[in-house]
């Protein structure tokens, strides 16, 4: 892995950590569906889960280049 690829991997790992920390705000009920509405809550959780999986896939690909 070259220098740029290492930097990309580092940024992606940072984003992954931030996404999971954000998701924790919802799963620990710091923000609940009662606060923002069930539909909005579910949309946010679904999207955070989707982006987390996408980033996991990217990190896996970067590790195997």
pLDDT in tens, 27-46: 999 999 999 999 999 999 99
Give the model's pLDDT for residue 17. Answer: 98
Angle between helix 3-27 and 38-63 (nearest 10): 150
21-29 contacts at long range (C-beta below 8 A, 24 or more positions apart):
22/48, 23/48, 23/49, 23/52
pLDDT category at 65 given cuts 50, 70, 90 is confident
> Rounded to an integer, what distance in angstroms lies between the CA atom of residue 13 and that of residue 56?
9
Domain that holds residue 57: 3-63
Res 2 pLDDT > 90: no
pLDDT surpassing 80 at residue 1? no
In the chain, how many domains are there?
Answer: 1
The percentage of the chain sitting over the pLDDT mark of 90, rounded to a whole number, equals 91
């Amino acid at each position: 892995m070259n220098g740029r690829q290492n930097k990309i991997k580092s940024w992606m790992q940072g984003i992954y950590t931030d996404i999971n920390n954000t998701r924790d705000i919802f799963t620990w009920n710091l923000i609940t569906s009662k606060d923002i509405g069930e539909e909005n809550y579910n949309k946010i959780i679904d999207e955070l889960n989707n982006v987390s999986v996408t980033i996991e896939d990217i990190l896996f690909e970067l590790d195997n280049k």
